[in-house]
């Protein structure tokens, strides 16, 4: 499975030498004879199985990805298909990986299957002509991607460019011991007002009830991100400003109330001055709960908790029958330059369904997966599986539907920078909310105007 580049080069060289030797022999056969040979299918290529090697690029090393066993399984089930797993970076940093990916693409190196971690980076490579649309494959198979997967990736001009693999759903991670000490049941459906009340109840002299990290594109827009339909980002789908949505203001009010009025959530001033790490805050029991992605089921960093961890669904803006949350994760795509697109699609279809279940590393986006079994497999690979409340985790990710997804404008990062600058003045007490909203509206609009 794991072939070395040097071996591939030597094999190619031998092939070229053999070809040259053959062409240097008796060359007396006529053009007509050659045509007859092609027509009757007696040439060597038509009489043998073609060996296909798919180059699969990603950023997850073998230790964390457990690729070899599942690739061996796929190759055994599909004779003639060889998968070359190629982590392009050692540090597992996806942004460093994308730099290497772009270098490979510009050099014209062979690519067949490409992994992406978010819609923004996927959109850039679609624009660059790196990724193949897969609608024709989906149609031929007769599947609806949004019914088959809990899909957080949008269509780009009506086309889908990959299959969701790893699922990352926004949830609330909670210290179950703290909940029990405060006499609080694990929430199964709740609103942000409920979250605020529980944060107050959980706050003691030893720990805060809540924590919002410094990511203002998440924690300072948190009510907007839970909007089920319509524009649920700082920019609308057409790239215009969405600052006038009331949920932007409500998000800031919520965060300010938690941090500066109730004093039940770590204030931004402490967060910035101490350069806090959200994993450290939770696993050292300095906080009781944090809204975070479901990847925290197993991605504990250097920490091994000895207290029980519970999970609750993402709080709603209004109590509804259906609960919504942002859903993202990793997606696997077919390279536009691949000479084996059908084989590449077949592989990513398997990898995003049976393969990820066998891998036992991540929670799948595949709706037909045995979710409890998948979560148990992931938990079993953590340093302390006993501390995970699997029932609450399964409920939290199975009870939600993804919010509407759309591709953000290319300048959204610049918009978030402008937004964060004004938000910090407000949360640090340097200006009031009305002034903040006026300044944010002006600064975001300036970025929009410069890019449209």
* Nearest Cα to Cα of residue 94 among 358, 329, 283: 329
Q: Provide CATH 3.40.190.10 ranges for the chain.
A: 51-167+329-380, 168-327+392-451
* Helices 94-106 & 119-127 angle (0-180, nearest 10): 10
pLDDT above 80 for 301 = yes
Distance of CA 363 to the CA centre of its chain: 11
Choose which CATH entry (3.40.190.10, 3.40.50.40, 3.30.70.141, 3.40.50.1980) describes domain 168-327+392-451. 3.40.190.10
Average pLDDT value for the chain: 89
Using CA atoms of 283, 288, 293, 295 in order, give the dihedral in degrees to the nearest 10.
30
Q: Percent of the chain scored above 70 by pLDDT? A: 89
pLDDT bucket at 152, cuts 50 / 70 / 90: confident
Instruction: Name the superfamily (CATH) of residues 51-167+329-380.
Output: Periplasmic binding protein-like II (3.40.190.10)
Q: Which of 410, 438, 427 is nearest to 258 (CA)?
A: 427
- Taking residue 42's Cβ as centre, other Cβ atoms within 10 Å add up to 10
Specify the pLDDT at position 216. Answer: 95
| Range list of H helices, 78-175 | 94-106, 119-127, 135-141, 145-148
In 3-state terms, what secondary structure has residue 136? helix
H-type alpha helices, 286-432 = 341-350, 356-359, 371-380, 390-398, 412-427
pLDDT at 49: 66
Which tokens hold the place of 82? Answer: 């060889």
For the segment 333-362, the average pLDDT, to the nearest whole number, is: 97
- CA nearest to 313, candidates 341, 333, 289, 335: 289
The larger pLDDT score, comparing residue 86 to residue 36, is at: 86
Q: Is the pLDDT of residue 26 over 90?
A: no
What mean pLDDT is predicted for residues 38-47?
A: 35
What is the rounded average pLDDT of the residues 401-409?
A: 86
Does the pTM of the predicted model rise above 0.85? Answer: no
């Amino acid at each position: 499975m794991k072939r070395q580049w040097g071996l591939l080069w030597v094999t190619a060289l031998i092939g070229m030498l053999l070809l040259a030797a053959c062409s240097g022999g008796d060359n007396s056969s006529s053009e007509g004879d050659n045509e007859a040979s092609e027509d009757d299918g007696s040439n060597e290529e038509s009489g043998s199985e073609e060996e296909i090697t798919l180059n699969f690029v990603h950023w997850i090393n073998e230790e964390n990805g457990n690729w070899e066993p599942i690739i061996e399984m796929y190759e055994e089930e599909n004779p003639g298909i060889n998968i070359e797993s190629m982590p392009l970076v050692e540090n597992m940093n996806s942004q460093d990986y994308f730099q290497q990916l772009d270098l490979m693409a510009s050099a014209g190196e062979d690519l067949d299957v490409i992994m992406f971690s978010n819609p923004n980076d996927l959109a850039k490579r679609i624009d660059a002509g790196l990724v193949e649309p897969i609608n024709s494959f989906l149609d031929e198979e007769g599947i609806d991607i949004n019914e088959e997967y809990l899909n957080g990736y949008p269509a780009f001009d009506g086309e889908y460019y990959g299959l969701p693999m790893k699922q990352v759903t926004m949830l609330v991670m909670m210290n179950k011991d703290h909940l029990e000490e405060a006499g609080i049941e694990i929430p199964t459906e709740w609103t942000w007002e409920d979250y605020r009340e529980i944060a107050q109840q959980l706050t003691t002299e030893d720990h805060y009830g809540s924590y919002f990290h410094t990511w203002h594109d998440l924690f300072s827009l948190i009510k907007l991100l839970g909007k089920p339909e319509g524009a649920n980002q700082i920019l609308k789908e057409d790239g215009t400003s969405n600052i006038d949505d009331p949920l932007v203001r409500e998000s800031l009010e919520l965060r300010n109330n938690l941090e500066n009025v109730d004093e039940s959530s770590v204030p931004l001033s402490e967060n910035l001055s101490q350069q806090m790490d959200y994993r450290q805050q939770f696993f050292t029991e300095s906080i009781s709960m944090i809204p975070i992605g479901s990847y925290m089921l197993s991605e504990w960093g250097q920490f091994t908790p000895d207290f029980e961890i519970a999970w609750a669904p993402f709080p709603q803006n209004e109590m509804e029958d259906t609960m919504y949350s942002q859903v993202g994760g990793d997606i696997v795509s077919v390279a536009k330059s691949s000479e084996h697109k059908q084989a590449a699609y077949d592989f990513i279809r398997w990898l995003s369904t049976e393969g990820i279940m066998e891998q036992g590393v991540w929670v799948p986006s595949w709706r037909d997966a045995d979710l409890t079994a998948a979560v148990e497999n992931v938990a079993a690979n953590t340093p302390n599986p006993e501390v995970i409340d699997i029932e609450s985790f399964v409920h939290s990710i199975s009870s939600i539907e993804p919010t509407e997804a759309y591709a953000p404008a290319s300048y959204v990062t610049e918009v978030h920078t402008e937004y964060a600058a004004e938000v910090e003045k407000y949360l640090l007490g340097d200006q009031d909310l009305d002034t903040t909203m006026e300044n944010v509206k002006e600064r975001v609009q300036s970025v929009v105007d410069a890019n449209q």
